[in-house]
């Protein structure tokens, strides 16, 4: 693995793929813990994101905290130092673990979005626990992290009286990231309607084999296509640095503070000991 090449590609493209990042034992251990998360529904963040076909798209956040016997080796030993290099920071903090499990029956897409509960360095590593062809894989708009804009799905700009048109995914995403206030609508730009047809946007689908990983900047626009055709599971670890702050334009911090019994304050760095810190 050429870390300086990866660091430079991540900076210019906004995402990188790292083949064979974890071994089969890791994938099987996390898959088993994901099954436990689903059967126990122990986490208050557990969600069914496909209201068309119940059970075809499950997701959870902080299962490592809420689900007993969650695989204790969920942070690969070589990951924190890699994140420190990729983020060009001597200290990195693990903000969150989350997972997404889709069955081949799933018809719900994830709309084009940024991950923007944090301002400042905010990176995710999406570890593929199954083989995912390009037709069903995460897609990125190469270089979009440099646009300077804060995008939101255009449907979110519709007024709340039309809210019934949102599917479970949109409701979920909106509840974490949007409000009807003028302040929010002025801060965000709608995702361009011609994103998928205008060649100016360089869309890259990143197929993966089990064990591969994708690292991406939270500000790189990304989405999932509507039809999955395969069963797929991704385990995601999100990383920040000491100079990252809680975004004032996100409901995440309030929701997380209540459910984790911690205090995340808009525009302040994250220092609660709940978040593991790694120094290099």
Ligand X SMILES: O=C(O)CCC(=O)C(=O)O
Alpha-carbon separation of residue 240 from 15, 19, 24 (angstroms)? 16, 23, 27
* Closest CB to Fe ion: residue number: 115
Q: Residue 201 CB, nearest distance to ligand X (Å)?
A: 17
Nearest-angstrom CA–CA distance, 65 and 140: 29
Compute how many residues bind Fe ion; rule: CB under 5 A.
1
Interacting positions 142-171 with Fe ion (CB under 5 A):
none
Q: Measured at CB, which residue is nearest to ligand X?
A: 100
Nearer to ligand X, 180 or 207 (CB): 207
Binding partner of 224, given Fe ion, ligand X, none, CB within 5-8 angstroms per partner class: ligand X
Residues in the chain: 280
In the complex, the smallest distance separating the C-beta of residue 238 from Fe ion, rounded to whole angstroms, is 9
Site of tokens 């920071």: 89
Q: Which is nearer to ligand X, 138 or 152 (CB)?
A: 138
Joined tokens for residue 201: 């946007």
Smallest distance from the beta carbon of 121 to ligand X, in angstroms? 15
Nearest to 217 by CA among 78, 104, 26, 88: 88
Taking CB within 5 to 8 Å according to partner kind, which of ligand X, Fe ion, none is near residue 124? ligand X
Q: Where on the chain is the footprint of ligand X (CB under 6 A)?
A: 100, 110, 115, 124, 126, 138, 222, 224, 234, 236
Beta carbons within 8 Å of 105's beta carbon, 6+ residues apart: 53, 56, 228
Nearer to Fe ion, 29 or 125 (CB): 125
Spell 140-164 as b/e; 16+ CB within 10 A means b: bbeebbeeebebbbebbeeeeeeee
Q: What is the largest CA-CA distance in the chain?
A: 51
* Closest residue by Cα to residue 192 from 154, 150, 230, 165: 154
Whose Cβ is closer to Fe ion: residue 33's or residue 220's? 220
Least separation, in Å, of the C-beta of 97 and ligand X? 11
- Would strands 203-205 and 277-279 be described as parallel, antiparallel, or unpaired? unpaired
Cβ nearer to ligand X, comparing 45 with 181: 45
Q: Which does 236 bind (CB under 5 to 8 A by kind): ligand X, Fe ion, none?
A: ligand X
Per-residue tokens: 229: 């055709």
The minimum distance between CB 279 and ligand X, in angstroms, equals 26
Of 98-127, binders to Fe ion (CB under 5 A) are: 115
Q: In the complex with Fe ion, which residue's Cβ is closer, 115 or 170?
A: 115
Q: Which is nearer to Fe ion, 13 or 115 (CB)?
A: 115
* Binds 239: which of ligand X, Fe ion, none (CB < 5-8 Å by kind): none
Beta partners for residue 61, in sequence order: 98
Name the phi and psi angles at 254, rounded to 5: -65, -45
Least spacing, CB of residue 112 vs Fe ion, in Å: 10
Do 230 and 136 meet the contact criterion of CB atoms below 8 Å apart? yes
Work out how close the CB of 226 gets to ligand X at its nearest, in angstroms, rounded to a whole number: 12
In the complex, which residues of this chain contact Fe ion (CB under 5 A)?
115
């Amino acid at each position: 693995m050429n870390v300086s090449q990866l660091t430079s590609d991540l900076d210019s493209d906004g995402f990188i793929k790292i083949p064979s990042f974890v071994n089969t034992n890791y994938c099987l251990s996390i898959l088993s813990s994901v099954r436990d998360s689903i059967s126990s529904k122990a986490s208050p963040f557990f969600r069914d994101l496909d209201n068309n076909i119940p059970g075809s798209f499950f997701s959870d956040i902080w299962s490592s905290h809420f689900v007993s016997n969650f695989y204790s080796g969920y942070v690969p030993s070589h990951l924190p130092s890699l994140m420190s290099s990729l983020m060009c920071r001597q200290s990195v903090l693990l903000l969150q673990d989350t997972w997404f499990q889709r069955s081949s029956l799933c018809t719900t897409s994830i709309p084009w979005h940024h991950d923007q509960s944090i301002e400042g360095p905010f990176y995710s590593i999406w570890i593929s626990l199954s083989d995912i062809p390009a037709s069903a894989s995460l897609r990125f708009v190469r270089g979009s992290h440099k646009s300077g804009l804060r995008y939101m799905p255009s449907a979110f700009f519709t007024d709340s009286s039309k809210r019934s048109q949102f599917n479970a995914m949109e409701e979920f995403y909106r509840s974490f990231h949007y409000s009807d206030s003028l302040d929010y609508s002025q801060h965000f730009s709608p995702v361009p309607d011609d994103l998928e047809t205008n060649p100016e946007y360089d869309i890259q689908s990143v197929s993966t084999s089990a064990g591969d990983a994708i690292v991406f900047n939270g500000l790189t626009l990304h989405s999932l296509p509507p039809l999955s055709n395969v069963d797929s599971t991704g385990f995601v670890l999100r990383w920040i640095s000491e100079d990252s702050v809680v975004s004032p334009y996100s409901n995440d911090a309030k929701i997380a503070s209540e459910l984790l019994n911690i205090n995340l304050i808009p525009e302040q760095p994250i220092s609660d000991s709940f978040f593991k810190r790694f120094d290099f």
